[in-house]
Structure 1
Amino acid sequence: MHTHRIVSIIDDDESVRIATSSLVRSLGWDVRLYASAEDFLAAGQIGDVACVISDVQMPGMTGLEMQRRLLDGGIALPIIFISAFASETVRRQALEDGAMCVLSKPVDGAAVSRCLETLQAEGGEFH
């Protein structure tokens, strides 16, 4: 069975994108990087993505707005949100809308690893 191995990382902070991508690559996943939710949605490369790791607060479209846009389009991608300011409200909304995990910055590599392992354990195939 072919499983998608691509994790899309969306964060307006380049240093966070690079750090997160090296972590995810070290766990055996392929990575695509985006500076904004708009860039990710405009890229048209959602079909082969196994998981999205996204910041919540970004200029322009927020991570939660992107999640809502995907859901409105019938796309239920597993999303790991990372936020420096994850309020309980944000956390609850993200999880209610189907997010896998909501993690705090600075990113805890072990927590990201656990989220991705959960995804793999569930088969890693999402449509």
Structure 2
Amino acid sequence: MLVAIVDDDAVVRESLLDLLEVSGYSVVTFASAADFLESSRIPEMRCLLLDISMPGMSGIDLYKELKRRNIAIPVVFMTGHAQEALINEAKRAGICLFKPFAGAELRRAIETAIEI
């Protein structure tokens, strides 16, 4: 199962990559929403781990763009310091985890997002 991580923080991307690969997931990472949108692997993706607050296109904006393009990928939003309005919007769209979170919590969120 291919999981995509979109987060502007390289340390977060790398630690999530390591955690998910050890858990048996195939993982691709992107430093920005724009990089993600250029990927040819989007049709393969089963879940998207998406940072809410990023420079340029935010995670919420990327989610809206995917909806506009009729691309249905289950999303788990992640945040460490987003504004309350963005957090509420993310929660309405799906699952939202607050950094830092435990590996078991992340794995449960991914499985739940895929089931929805």
TM normalised by structure 2 equals 0.90
Mapped to 1, the partners of 2:48 and 2:3 lie a distance apart of 6
Equivalent residue for 2:101, pick from 94, 100, 107: 107
The answer for unaligned runs of 5 or more in structure 2 is none
Q: What SS class does the counterpart of residue 55 from structure 2 fall into?
A: coil
Letter in 1 for 2:100: P
Mapped to 2, the partners of 1:76 and 1:23 lie a distance apart of 24
Q: Any idea what the Cα deviations from partners look like across 1:68-116, whole Å, max 9, x if unmatched?
A: 000011112111111012444223212333x2x1011123212101112
The answer for unaligned runs of 5 or more in structure 1 is none
Q: What SS class does the counterpart of residue 50 from structure 2 fall into?
A: strand
Equivalent residue for 1:118, pick from 97, 112, 115: 112
Bigger helix fraction: 2
Moved runs in structure 1, 4+ residues, more than 3 A?
Answer: none
User: How far 1:118 moved relative to its partner?
Assistant: 2.2
Mapped to 2, the partners of 1:85 and 1:119 lie a distance apart of 22
Q: What SS class does the counterpart of residue 43 from structure 1 fall into?
A: coil
Equivalent residue for 1:79, pick from 58, 75, 94: 75
How high is the sequence identity, in percent, across the aligned residues? 35
**Is 2:84 the counterpart of 1:69?**
no
TM normalised by structure 1 equals 0.83
